[in-house]
Amino acid sequence: MSTVSGSQYGVGLITLLVASSIGIGYYTMFYLPEQLATPDIDEHVLDPVKSTYIEMILGSSNADQQDNYVPKLVNLQLSIDNHVIWTNVDETAHTVTPDHRYKFLLY
């Protein structure tokens, strides 16, 4: 049966501390800033001239429904009519979710 000396525990502890500090340094300097980054958007894009209204129609919760919202096809232009207001007229609660990770104001 072999015994482990105190210096071997010290080397293991120092290795663990160095590895932990490298991991924490990477997390705080590279990972977090990337995850918390938000896009820099001009004011004229954030406050467009017009708004576009889309309604989730009655019965849109039905899987057989072809038109879940009206108008079905919407063409938007940045800084002109890119403010989209979704209105739910269905009896069932619905959500609108962007396909990217940035957070926008919900009214």
Domain coordinates in residue numbering, the chain: 1-37, 40-107
What does pTM read for this prediction? Answer: 0.53
Q: What is the pLDDT of residues 46-95, one digit of tens each?
A: 888 899 999 999 988 888 888 888 998 888 888 888 889 999 998 888 88
Take residue 95 and report the two structure tokens written for it.
Answer: 């959500």
Chain-centroid distance of CA 17 in Å reads 33
* 71-106-39 Cα angle (round to 5): 100
Sort 104 into a burial class: Cβ within 10 Å, 0-12 / 13-18 / 19+: exposed
Q: Is residue 83 a contact partner of residue 51, using CB atoms and an 8 Å limit?
A: yes
Q: Classify 52 as helix, strand or coil.
A: strand
**Over the stretch 5-59, which tens digit does the pLDDT of each residue have?**
778 888 999 999 999 999 999 999 988 888 888 878 888 888 888 999 999 999 8
